[in-house]
Amino acid sequence: MEPLPFTKLHGNGNDFILIDEYEETLVFEEDRPDFARAACHRHFGVGGDGALFLSRGNGKLRMRIFNADGSEPEMCGNGIRCFLRYAVERGYASLGEVEVSTEAGDLVAEVRERDGEAWVEVDMGEPTLLCSDIPAAGESEFREEIGGFEVYACNTGVPHAVVFVDDVDDIDVEEVAPRIRFHGAFPEGANVNFVEVTDDALRVRTYERGVEGETLSCGTGATAVAVIANTLERVGEEVDVETRGGPLKIHVGETVRMAGPAVEVFTGTLDRDSLPPGRPP
């Protein structure tokens, strides 16, 4: 079997294995969950929080992502920035405005250079607020106490639980988050974000569904916490969000825009036969 080329990228430490299928399919549809589980394993594979697949159709670039556990989320904020950096550098798109098809719908992004690195701003669309005491709440209103925490919910392409705390460093994320992530209030599960409001930024730690652990950054999570904090009038429209892997800038308006860096780490090839099928992360 031919070796499989891949590229490793990260957005603020949220890392991905990208498979370029612009010209042809390299991993069959039915094999993608097992491929993601095996390739993303940090001991037996390349290592990553997810596997990105780049293809094209209907005149647009198409992005799909499979988490390290083989599940397929609708969208990934850090992933789409990595995807777009790769697409521009390989000549599949030009600097400026790019439209990408995702499982969460078509999204428009702007790719530009900033201080010698790729800087990507994505229009994340209109979020769905799920907070019962917020006037702009959607139909599925939700604010509930779970595990001793007051939890807000917001969908920014994928569902997010948002919990405000005094100090994010005091939270045992791996211990506390699963109680919220698997709570019955979230039929499809949710990413869980713990948020500290400071004078000039939001500090965030995120436990990601599908990775089943804390990641260094989550773009849709940063977007969700900015939306909730803004709606509760704790921050303004322009929000700096500090993740453990670095900063993101969020603008909350009629739609929400997320901006941040994307870094290509290395390229290589995978011997597919060396990856144990479906090895759990």
Catalytic residue among 76, 82, 131, 154: 76
Closest CA to 16 of 44, 43, 51: 51
Beta strand pairing status for 50-57 and 14-20?
A: parallel
Q: At what angle do helices 77-89 and 219-231 cross, to 10 degrees?
A: 130
H or E segment and range at residue 83: helix 77-89
Residues 6+ apart with CB under 8 A from 193: 160, 161, 162, 163, 204, 205, 206, 207, 218, 221, 224, 225
Question: Which amino acid, 65?
Answer: I
Q: Tell me whether residue 76 is one of the annotated catalytic residues.
A: yes
Q: Tell me whether residue 131 is one of the annotated catalytic residues.
A: no
> Where do we find the tokens 């939001």?
202
Question: Which amino acid, 80?
Answer: I
Considering only CA atoms, give the Rg of the chain.
Answer: 18
Greatest alpha-carbon pair distance for the chain in Å reads: 57
From first CA to last CA, the distance across the chain in angstroms is: 24
Catalytic residue among 40, 82, 154, 218: 218
Q: Which residues are catalytic?
A: 76, 218
